[in-house]
Amino acid sequence: MKILVTGTAGFIGFHLVKKLVSLGYFVTGIDNINEYYDVNLKYARLCQSGIKREEINYNEKICSASLPGYCFLKLDLTDREKIFSLFREEQFDFVCNLAAQAGVRYSLENPYAYTDSNICGFINILEACRNFSVKHLVFASSSSVYGLNEKIPFSVTDTVDHPVSLYAATKRANELMAHTYSHLFNIPVTGLRFFTVYGPWGRPDMAYFKFACAILSNSPIEVYNKGNMLRDFTYIDDVTEGIIAAINRISSGNAQFNAYAPTPSQSSAPFKLYNIGNNRPEKLIDFIASLENALGRKAEKVYLGMQPGDVQATMADIDATTKDLGWEPKICIDEGLKLFADWFLEYGKNNDSV
Distance (Å, whole) CA 226 – CA 302: 8
Q: Which of 316, 328, 326 is nearest to 275 (CA)?
A: 316
3-class SS at 15?
helix
Residue 205 phi, psi dihedral angles, 5° rounding: -85, -10
310 in Cβ contact with 258 (< 8 Å) = no
131 in Cβ contact with 87 (< 8 Å) = yes
163 in Cβ contact with 144 (< 8 Å) = yes
3-class SS at 45?
helix
Catalytic residues, by residue number, are 167
- Sign of the torsion formed by the C-alpha atoms of 114, 354, 13 and 246: negative
121 in Cβ contact with 77 (< 8 Å) = yes
- By CB atoms closer than 10 A (0-12, 13-18, 19+), residue 255 is exposed
Distance (Å, whole) CA 52 – CA 63: 10
Residue 307 phi, psi dihedral angles, 5° rounding: -105, 150
Distances (CA, A) of 315 to 151, 247, 249, 318, 329: 9, 23, 24, 9, 13
Distance (Å, whole) CA 42 – CA 40: 5
Distance (Å, whole) CA 179 – CA 271: 6
Distance (Å, whole) CA 276 – CA 317: 9
Q: Which of 98, 127, 155 is nearest to 273 (CA)?
A: 155
Helix (H) or strand (E) holding 293: helix 284-295
